[in-house]
Chain A
Amino acid sequence: MSTKKALSAIAVATALLSGSALADGINATLEMSQQDYKNSDNVVVKVTLTNEEHVPVKLLKWYTAADGVEESLFKVTANGEKRQYLGAHYKRQAPTKDDYIKLKSGESISYDVELSSLYDMSSTAEYEISYDVSSLQLFSPNPGQAKKLARLGIEGIHSQPTSFYLEGRELKQGTNKGKPGGGDGGGEIDGVTFTGRCSNSQKTDILAGLDAAKEMSADANQHLNGNNSNSLRYSTWFGDYNSSRWNTVSNNFSKIDSALNNESLTIDCSCKKKYFAYVYPTQPYKIYMCGAFWSAPTTGTDSKGGTIIHEMSHFNVVAGTDDIVYGQSGAKSLAVSNPAQAIQNADSHEYFAENTPNLN
C-alpha cells in the first residue's frame, strides 16, 4: 500500500511536468484525467499535437488518432517493462495527399485515445506512456524540402512521458499467469481469452455477462430437471409439452451449462456492427460481441447473459441451434405454430433462460 502511494506521488509529479517535448516543429503533450485506475476503468489519454513552426505543416494521419488508432502511437511500459501494442497495423499503399492533415502555424489538434484496448494492462503496475511516432513519410514533402522533412519524420514526434497506477485483474492460477496477452487482444482472465481490442470496461462487462449466463443456465437446468409437464415457462417458449422435445431442450441446456463452466471461451471485441453478437457454429467457443451487447442490461430480456446463452446454443458441439425467428414476439408465435422449430431456435433458448417476465 505504501509503495502504491509513493508511486502515485511520482505519477502526479510526472504528470505536472509532462510539458512540451521538442520535436522540431510539432509538439506533443499527453493529459490524463486520473492517476489511479481500477481494472474496470477505461484508460483514456488526451493527445494534443501543436504546430510550433511558423509555417503550416502537413502530418500523416496514420500517426495521429484522427481516424482512430491505426498504428502503434505510444511507448508503454509497466514497472519499466515494455508493453506490446495489440492493435491493428495496416498494410497500406504509399500515402497520398488525402492521407495528410494540415496544421496551421500555432494550430493544435486533440484526440482522446483509450489505451487498455491497445496495450496489455492486465497486471497491477505503474504504467508510463509517451507519444512516440516516427516515419520517413510523417510529414508531407514540400518541394525543395523533401530531404529535411524526411529527416524530421524519422526523428519523429515524442512527448514527455506521463504515468499512472493501474490495479490489474487477479489472473487465475495456471496458464498465462502474469503473462501479457498473445496476439491482438489482451490476455486471459478466469479462463476467458480476449481478442479484438477489448477495453477494460468491455472485459468487465463480458465477465459480468458470463456470470449472469452461468446463473441463467443453472436455473434453466434446474427447471427442466423438475420435469414439470405443465410448465408455463416451457410452453411459452417451446410450445406444447411433448417428452421428446422436452428432453431435447433439457439436453441442450445441460450442454450449454457444461460448456459455460468447463470450456475455454474466447471473446472478441472488434465487431462494429449495431447488432448483439455472432458466432461461427463450427468454431467453438469464440463469440464476437457487437454494439448492442455493450448497451444491453446484464440480466433480463435481450441481456448480456442471455446473449451469451443464445450464442453458446449455436455451436454445433453444443446445441446447433439456428436463428429461425428473431425477437420475443417471434419466438412466442413460433412456440405456438411450430414447436419442433422452436426447440431449434436460439432466441427461444435465450428467452427461456432469461425468464423475463418470470413464468416459473
Chain B
Amino acid sequence: MKKVIILMLAASIIYLSPLSAKAGAIMFPQCKLTQHGNEARLLFTLHNPSEQSWRFLQWKTPFDAWFSEFVHITHQGVQIPYEGALMKRGEPDKEDYLTLNAGDNIQVELELTQAFKLNNGEYTVEISPILLTPLAESKLKNSTLELTCPKIQINL
C-alpha cells in the first residue's frame, strides 16, 4: 500500500509541474485518474498543492462508489449504462464531507466492473466535476472550485 502512495506522489509531480512553474500563484487542488495496467481498475488521486485546505461533499465523487452515478464511460461514442446503485439521502451533514488538507494527497481505487459491463476494447472514462469549498477563515471564502478531472482512455 505504501508503495502505491509513493509512486503516486512521484506521478503527481509530473502533472503539477505546469502550475508550479507559475511562481507565487495560488495552486488549486488537482485530480487525476490512472489505470492499473490493463485492468478495469482506476486509481483516483486528489492532490492539494496549495496552502489552503478544502472540503467537498463525497456524494457523486469516487468516494461514493457505487451509490451514485459519477463515472461516465463511453465506447466508440456510445454510453455504457451505469449499473450501480442510486441512494436517496436528504440533506448532507458534517460526516458527508471530506477534508483535503493543505499539501495532502487522497486516493481511492475504483473497480469499474462493479458498476459497468465492460468487454475488451478502448473506453473513455470521465468523472463528474468535484465541487470544493475552502475551509473557513480564508481569503477564498464564499468561493467554490469546480474541479474537472481530465478524462482518460483505457484499454482492456
Say yes or no: is B2 at the interface (Cβ < 8 Å to chain A).
no
Set of chain A residues within 8 Å of B90, measured between Cβ atoms:
275-276, 292, 302, 326-327
Say yes or no: is B91 at the interface (Cβ < 8 Å to chain A).
yes
Say yes or no: is A346 at the interface (Cβ < 8 Å to chain B).
yes
- Is the Cβ of B86 less than 8 Å from the Cβ of A281? yes
> How many B residues, CB 8 Å from partner?
17
Set of chain B residues within 8 Å of A323, measured between Cβ atoms:
60, 68-69, 86-88
Say which residue of B59, B60, B83, B91 sits within 8 Å of A280 (CB atoms): B83
Q: Taking the nearest CB of chain A, how far is it from the CB of B116, in angstroms?
A: 11
Say yes or no: is A322 at the interface (Cβ < 8 Å to chain B).
yes
- Is the Cβ of B88 less than 8 Å from the Cβ of A307? yes
Identify whether the interface residues of B are mostly helix, strand, loop, or mixed. loop
Set of chain B residues within 8 Å of A275, measured between Cβ atoms:
87-90
Say yes or no: is B84 at the interface (Cβ < 8 Å to chain A).
yes
Say yes or no: is B56 at the interface (Cβ < 8 Å to chain A).
no
Say which residue of A273, A276, A277, A282 sits within 8 Å of B81 (CB atoms): A282
| Complex Cα–Cα for A302 and B90 (A) | 7
> How many A residues, CB 8 Å from partner?
25
Residue of B nearest to A282 (CB): B83
Say which residue of A279, A292, A327, A347 sits within 8 Å of B85 (CB atoms): A279
Say which residue of B59, B69, B87, B91 sits within 8 Å of A278 (CB atoms): B87
Interface centre among B69, B84, B88, B90 (most CB of A within 10 A): B88
| Complex Cα–Cα for A353 and B83 (A) | 26
| Complex Cα–Cα for A276 and B92 (A) | 12
Where the two chains meet, the residues of B that have a C-beta atom closer than 8 Å to any C-beta of A are 59-60, 67-69, 81-92
Give 10 nearest A-B pairs by CB, closest first.
A276-B88, A278-B87, A275-B89, A278-B85, A282-B83, A314-B86, A310-B88, A280-B85, A275-B87, A277-B88
Where the two chains meet, the residues of A that have a C-beta atom closer than 8 Å to any C-beta of B are 273, 275-282, 288, 290, 292, 302, 307, 310-311, 314, 316, 322-323, 326-327, 346-347, 350
